[in-house]
Structure 1
Amino acid sequence: MSDLLERLRTRGWRLTAQRRVVAEVLDGDHVHLTADEVHARAARLLPEISRATVYNTLGELVTLGEVLEVSTDGRARRYDPNAHHAHQHLVCSHCGTIRDVHPVGDPLAALPAGERFGFTVSDVEVTYRGTCPDCSATAA
């Protein structure tokens, strides 16, 4: 499970009711919600929360480095609370479901020195794509 709420408390980030609800919605494993999805879930817990507050809070969390902004389809930005746990993403090409995965080995080592073109590589992002079990079942 993501430790987002605990990290925010440790940082001393002021947890207003609105911020707390956004953090609660994001907290968990395999959470990759769009801003609109965060707003819809937050509004169930705190009906008066505005879309602007959700967007502003997400922006602050990204700036703090506590939430990652992820785009796997080139359109919808999604928010991943597992910013402090190294992982990659597994994405269903049909429905867009995203799961966190933890491949074994160093993905940086997979790029030969001759293919680095003099770059000092500091980060690697790998996205695995396929078909989830639900989509596979409906296609059968």
Structure 2
Amino acid sequence: MSDLLQRLRERGWRMTAQRRVVAEVLAGEHVHLTADEVLAQATERLPEISRATVYNTLGELVTLGEVAEVATDGRAKRYDPNAHHPHQHLVCSGCGAIRDVHPDGDPLAALPPAERYGFTVAVAEVTFRGRCPDCAAGA
């Protein structure tokens, strides 16, 4: 579960009505919205919010490290509020749906020392791809 609002409050991030709405839209598990989807949901809650405010707020959240940008297969970037919880992604090759997954084991362990070419590897980003039940049913 995303604890984005709590983390932002603890950081002392200035919580304007617009920023709060963007953070609320991003709250939850398996949330991977595009900027336009964040804008649409934020506008439902706060009609006067502007596109620029939403985009600027998303940029600030990424810069702060509170939200991660997720890019898959040339599709629009998505925003993941679970930046502080280690996880991987499962992506539907049909509709682009993204789910957070927590596979067993350390993904860094899958890369043998001989394949690291002297790199000090800090992070492994693994993306699992397949078809979601809805896309598989329509195939």
TM-score range (shorter-chain normalised) is over 0.9
Distance 2:23 2:137 in 1: 34
The aligned residue for residue 62 of structure 1 is 62
Cross-structure match for 1:27 = 27
Letter in 2 for 1:3: D
Matched, 1:95 2:76: no
Aligned length: 139
Gaps of 5+ in 1: none
**Equivalent residue number for residue 51 of structure 1:** 51
1:38 maps to a residue whose letter is V
CA drift of 1:75 comes to: 3.4
Distance 2:75 2:130 in 1: 18
SS of match in other structure, 2:108 = helix
- Equivalence for 2:110: 110
Return structure 1 stretches of 4+ with deviation > 3 angstroms.
Answer: none
Q: In structure 1, what is the equivalent of residue 131 of structure 2?
A: 131
Using the TM superposition, give the Cα deviation of residue 72 of structure 1 relative to its aligned residue in structure 2, in angstroms: 1.2
Normalised by the size of structure 1, how large is the TM-score? 0.97
Q: How many angstroms does 1:74 deviate by?
A: 2.4
Deviations 1:44-87 (A, max 9, x none): 00000000000000000001100001101223111000000000
Q: Which residue identity does 1:67 align to in structure 2?
A: V
Rounded to whole Å, the distance in 1 between the matches of 2:118 and 2:9 is 41
SS in 2 for 1:117: coil
Unaligned runs of 5+ in 2: none
Identity of aligned residues (%): 81
SS in 1 for 2:79: strand
